[in-house]
Each structure stands twice: as structure tokens, then as C-alpha cells.
A and B are shown apart, each in its own frame.
Chain A
Amino acid sequence: MGIELQNITKQFGEYKAIDNLSLNIASGDLIALLGPSGCGKTTLLRIIAGLELADSGKIILENKDTTNLPPRKKNVGFVFQHYALFRRLNVLENVAFGLNVLPFKERPSRSEIRDRVEHLLKLVQMDWAQKRYPSQLSGGQRQRVALARALAVNPRVLLLDEPFSALDAKVRQELRRWLRKLHDEIHVTSIFVTHDQEEALELADKIVVINKGRIEQQGTPQEVYDHPANAFVYNFLGNVNVFHGRVHNGKVSLGAHNVDAPDDLKDIEEKPSQTFVRPHEIGISRIRSNENDFAGTIREVRLLGGQIGLNIECEGLDGPVEAEVPRELFMNLQLAKGVQVFVSLNRVRIFTGDYEI
């Protein structure tokens, strides 16, 4: 096991940041801790690194119990949201820091340190900047140096705290792919914290969705995206339309229509329900193809890069529907503001329970 967390609890005053959380991560995996801000994901990361002390629980890194070790002995690599490079040291000295502070007996020779640092800087494609200071680098470059610095000490695990969130969209995407490639090369067990579901879906071997200090669901990106365990996960993984209704003897009310309830909800006599639909899973046509289609009028058209966003007011539904259609379909159907369309809600997910958005 790469990382084993057992019953971690952490409370700040009245506020429970981590609530009896357990998690196992296989060696060599790249894991995303995904959750809204304030859900406890960063606290969890800092607890693993020893920067924060858990109230109770056990932390085992690569089969070594590190719960009571001081942070400098945990041997984790930590990458900070705002890089945290040493501003008075140049790139070379930054990356070498973790080796230079080793006790004399364990410290490699000067030339070995230099070789290792140069190797790492090549790995992160920053070897051209050895003598630069952090202030002379861009955000993306700084974060790559920070990564090299964290890797220099041969960490048991690598922890990244929202590593890309301070970068602009284009660099963020580039760096994301680059990190994935790098991880495939070095295979150190890694956890990165993010609130960006796209980042988690694209980058991680496994996603752990966290809310209010608890794990809501964990699994591969596909599992989590296609089979969300509950309304929170579904909602957090992408844009959604929500329709409130009731489950009643095998039927779910959806606006003015009733649709068949999914198997797991068949036996419920009577319960409030929420029906979720992702905008890109909404069917749009100019002719009614099914009796359950809703007639509606396009109120707003928005350009979303490759997709077109539509805001449609439907008869028989309590709120407007947000849909996304490919440009081609948009052109073919000659859609525009004010046009009458039929909306089909085929691929819906229905949850019952008290979850509120």
C-alpha cells in the first residue's frame, strides 16, 4: 500500500475539518482529492505531510507508520499552491536545499548533489534556468522548480496542494498533461488536491470526492463520472440541471410528466426526489419524437468554444433548462433565440434524500 489513512479526525474549535476518514492508496498511483473549498481536502494533505497534527488516526506511508514522526522526518514531497520557492536562493540552490540540509553523514558529496539537481531540472525541463531567481520565472516555471525541489529528497509520497490553481487556464492545462507524463515516468505515489473536476478527471488514476471532511465516493474517473454514488458527487463533477419532484410507486414526477423510476427506487412508496441532467446530455430537436418531450422556447444562446449553450424555457417544467449542443447540430437545426424546440430528458439520474444544492 502506498498510503494508508486510518480513522483520521481533525477538529478546529467547533468545526470538524476531517471526520473519521480512512483511505487506502495503491503504491505508484496518482490520486485526486476533489471537493469544494472548505471540505477538508487541504487539511488532510497537510496532516499527511505533518504540517498539521491530526486529533486521532494513523498515517502509514509506504508501509511505515509516520503518524508520530516530526514533519522533517516524514520524507514527503510537498508542492504548495503558491510555489513557496525560497526567494533568496536561485533555482539550483532551491532544488538542492533538501539535500544540503541533510546531516553530514547522510549528505551526498557536492558533485553528487549537483548531478542529482541537474538531472531533476532536466526532468522538469528547467535546466536552462539554474542561476535564475524565483522572481525571474513565470508561475508555471516556478511550479516545475517546486516539483523538482520536492522530488530531490526521494520522497516516500508526493503531495500537491492545488498545484495549478494559481496559473492561467492555458498554462494549467499544459502543466496538467505534463505532470501526468512525468508521473508515468517516475511512479511515486502522489496525491493532488483540487476543486477542479476537469483537472481531477483528466489527471488522476483515482478520484476521491470529499465533502465536509468525509469521503463521498472513490473510484476511477470513469466510475465516479458515470456512476456517481449520490447527488453531491453528480453535482460536483459537472454542470447540472436539477428538477425537484416525487418518487411514487415506481414513477417519478418530472414537471408535468411521469417517468419510470430506476430499479433501485422502484419500491419506494413516496419520497421527494431530485432528477439531474447534464447539459450536454439533453436532446434537442425541432419535431416531437416522444410523448415525454417538453416543448420549449430558446431564451438565450451562448458561445462556449466548441459547444453552444442554450437556455430553454419549457412548458411543464418549473425552471429553465440549460443545454449544450455541438455547433454542427446548432447550425443544422437552425437554432436561434426565440425558436421553438422539443427537449428530451432521456439520460437522467434520479436521487432521493435530503441533499440540497
Chain B
Amino acid sequence: MTQAEKSIGNSPVVKKRISDPRSVQVLLIGLTYLFFIGFIFLPLGLVFSQAFEKGWGFYLDSIHEPYALEAVKLTLLTVAIVVPVNAVFGVSAAWAITKFNFKGKSALKSLLDLPFAVSPVIAGLIFVLLVGSRTPFGSWLGELGIKIIFSTPGIVIATIFVTFPFIARELIPLMEAQGRDEEEAALTLGAKGWQIFGQITLPNIRWGLLYGMILCGARSIGEFGAVSVVSGHIRGQTNTIPLHVEILYSEYNFTASFAVASLLVFLALLTVVLKRGIEKHFQKNSFHH
């Protein structure tokens, strides 16, 4: 023990100041738990108790029913398109913003947050106004036989819009911190652009990228507002899981609705577990950063 530590240990005045009184600790911890119980554990429990209210058989039937299966398929298809598209966009945007100097860079950086700031319903409406069948562009597409609004492309586009910031926002601070020294070193050593990207840049950002992709995926699965506007709620065709849950609920089919909703909860829990795993990996490998 050093002298300084000794004097702190022996002096009750100093000791009081370095930690909050026990009562404050208990109060804060208690409040935190109370909040978690009220807003997370209780609702979660409620979802499952409702879902299983009419027993296992009904639960399985509800999620096996053709419309529900179609909704699951559509949701997975959407995620399978949206996440890769946004990964490419996010990496390109983060790369451009952190490695180059160009006009409008800071404006672009702030605009990146727009999808978070705008209400998803508005986001959906923007696309209806842009490519809906009554707009010139939409009717031109319609003549070509391409339908965007009230069909799968519209759902995908709306979801891309709502979730595109996740990956870029995850990567920009990471790439800013890493700087461009390593890329420049690779350049002077004779590497071509794709070699630098594949062997230096991508490995350096892979965990951040994966993290962003998981957040993006989770949000894509659960997106309701924007998708609701552009989908048209056609059962078996343009219904995603959240939309299907809403339809069942508005038809007073509560148990089925909660059963399908529990699928979303499972996916959310899976996301949390994956996220935690990656965070742990981040910490374990932090000496590489």
C-alpha cells in the first residue's frame, strides 16, 4: 500500500466522499430493477402467457398457419436483402466520410441521422409520393410491369431507408479512430485498392460491421410504420410479421396475435445474445485496436 492509500484508508472524511451513501445506492439499484420489471420482464412475460393461453397446439397452429408462414418468409426475405444492401452502403459511406475530404462531407454526416429523426410513417409516405402508381415515375414503372408500392420492392425500399444509418454510424467512429495510416502504408507497399480493402480495412472493421449488421437486421425484422404505409396489408403477399401481428390483433384474435408476436420476441432475444457475444469479443480483442 502506498502512503497516499494509507492516508485515505485512515481518514473517514475522505472515505465518505469517494463513495455515495449506502441508501443512495440501494435507491438507485432498486429503481433500476423496478423499471426493468415494469417495462421489460412484465411485458415479456405477458406476451408469452397470452401466446400460450390456449395451449401448445393453438400456439403451433397460429405460427404454422399459411398466412403467418408467408409473413415470416417475407420478413426474412426483406432482411436478407436489406442487411447486405445497407452493409455495402454503410461501408462505402463510412469509408468516404472518414478517408476522404470532399465538399458537403459534414452535411452528409448529419443527414445520415435523418431516418432516425423522421417518423417511420412519414418515411413510408415519402416513397408512396415518390414511386406510387399515381406519380409520373410510378406510372412509367407500372407500364414496364414493375410494381413498387403495395408489393415487396416497396417494403424492401422503405426498410432500407429506415435502417441505413445503423452500419455507417457504427463504422464512422471506429474508422475515424483507426485513421488512414495503415491504408497509406499498404499503398506505399504496392497494394491495389481491392487488396487494401480486403486485407487491411475490412479485417480492421469486421466486428463493428457485424455489430451494425445485427442492429440493422433487428430493426428490419421489427419495422412497422414505414412498411405499413407502403405494403397495403395484402395477406399472404405483402404482410410482414409485425403487420400480421397487427391484423390478428385488430381482428380480436389475441392469442394468435401474441403467438406470432412471440416470434419477434425470440428474434429480439437472439439479437441481444449475439450483440453481447460480439461485445465480449470486442473487449477480448481490444488490445488489437
Binding site for B on A (CB under 8 A): 49-51, 71-78, 80, 82, 84-88, 97-98, 101-102, 133, 135-136, 146, 149-150, 152-153
Interface string of B113-152 (1 = CB under 8 A from A): 0000000000000000000000000000000000000000
Pairwise interchain contact A101-B190, C-beta atoms closer than 8 A: yes
A84 with B184: in contact, given A101-B195, A133-B288, A135-B287 (CB under 8 Å)?
yes
For the complex of A and B, list the 5 residue pairs with the smallest distance between their C-beta atoms, beginning with the closest: A98-B189, A84-B181, A78-B188, A84-B185, A88-B203
Q: Is the CB of B204 within 8 A of A71?
A: no
A76 and B188 in contact, given A86-B182, A87-B204, A88-B203 (Cβ under 8 angstroms): yes
B192 surroundings in chain A (CB, below 8 A):
72, 101
CA of A39 to CA of B180, assembled, Å:
22
The reply to whether B188 and A72 form a contact with Cβ atoms under 8 Å apart is yes
A to B CB contacts below 8 Å, 24 in the list = A50-B188, A51-B187, A51-B188, A72-B189, A75-B190, A78-B184, A78-B185, A78-B188, A82-B181, A84-B182, A87-B204, A88-B200, A88-B204, A97-B191, A97-B199, A101-B189, A101-B192, A101-B195, A102-B190, A136-B287, A146-B185, A150-B189, A152-B189, A153-B190
Task: Check B289 for interface membership: any CB of A closer than 8 A.
Answer: yes
Chain A residues with CB under 8 A of B289: 87
Closest CB in chain A relative to B211 CB, distance in Å: 17
Chain A residues with Cβ under 8 A from B188's Cβ? 49-51, 71-72, 74, 76-78, 150
CB contacts (< 8 Å) of A146 on chain B: these are 185
A139 to chain B, nearest CB (A): 14
Task: Tell me which residues across on chain A come within 8 A of B191, comparing CB atoms.
Answer: 72, 97-98, 101
Known: A86-B199, A149-B189. 14 other contacts (CB 8 A): A71-B188, A78-B184, A84-B182, A84-B184, A86-B185, A86-B186, A87-B204, A88-B200, A98-B191, A133-B288, A149-B185, A150-B188, A152-B189, A153-B189
Q: How far is the CB of A228 from chain B (nearest CB, A)?
A: 34
B287 closest partner in A (C-beta): A135
CB-CB under 8 A for A72 and B187, given A135-B287, A135-B288: yes
Contacts of B181 in A (CB 8 A): 80, 82, 84
Max count, chain A CB within 10 A of own CB: residue among B181, B189, B191: B189
What is the number of contacts between chain A and chain B, taking CB atoms within 8 Å?
71
Task: Establish whether residues A97 and B184, one from each chain, have CB atoms under 8 Å apart when the complex forms.
Answer: no
**Main SS class of interface, B:** helix
A87 to B289 alpha-carbon distance, docked (Å): 7
Give the chain B neighbours of A150 by CB distance below 8 A.
188-189
- Chain B residues lying within 8 Å of A50, measured Cβ to Cβ, are 188
CB proximity of A126 to chain B, nearest CB, Å: 17
CB distance from B289 to the nearest CB of A (A): 7
Select the residue from B182, B184, B190, B289 with max chain A CB neighbours within 10 A. Answer: B190
Contacts of B186 in A (CB 8 A): 86, 97, 101
Which residues of B195-213 have CB atoms within 8 Å of chain A's CB atoms?
A: 195, 199-200, 203-204
Do residues B288 and A71 form an inter-chain contact, with CB atoms below 8 A?
A: no
Least CB separation from A51: chain B residue:
B184
How many angstroms from the CA of A152 to the CA of B188 in the assembled complex? 12
The minimal Cβ–Cβ distance linking A87 to chain B, given in whole angstroms, is 5
Tell me the bound Cα distance from A1 to B184 in angstroms.
Answer: 27
For B185, list chain A residues within 8 Å (CB). Answer: 78, 80, 84-86, 146, 149
A49 to chain B, nearest CB (A): 6
CB closest residue in chain B, given A87: B288
The residues of A that contact B199 with a CB separation of less than 8 Å are 86, 97, 101
Is the Cβ of A86 less than 8 Å from the Cβ of B200? yes
Determine how close the nearest CB of chain A comes to the CB of B194; give it in whole angstroms: 10
> How many Å from the CB of A194 to the closest CB on chain B?
19
**What residues of B have a CB within 8 angstroms of the CB of A136 in the complex?**
287
CA distance A262 to B190 in the complex (A): 54
Whole-angstrom CA separation of A88 from B181 in the bound complex: 14
A356 vs B95: C-alpha distance in the bound complex, in angstroms? 44
Q: In the assembled complex, which residues on chain A have CB atoms less than 8 Å from the CB atom of B182?
A: 84-87
Residues of B within 8 A of A101 (CB): 186, 189-192, 195, 199
Q: How far is the CA of A129 from the CA of B288 in the complex (A)?
A: 16
Give chain B residues whose Cβ lies under 8 Å from the Cβ of A76: 188
Q: How far is the CB of B277 from chain A (nearest CB, A)?
A: 20
Q: From A146, which residue of chain B is reached at the shortest CB distance? A: B185
* Cβ-closest chain A residue relative to B190: A72
Contact B189 A97 (CB under 8 A): yes
Given contacts A84-B184, A135-B288, contact A73 B200 (CB under 8 A): no
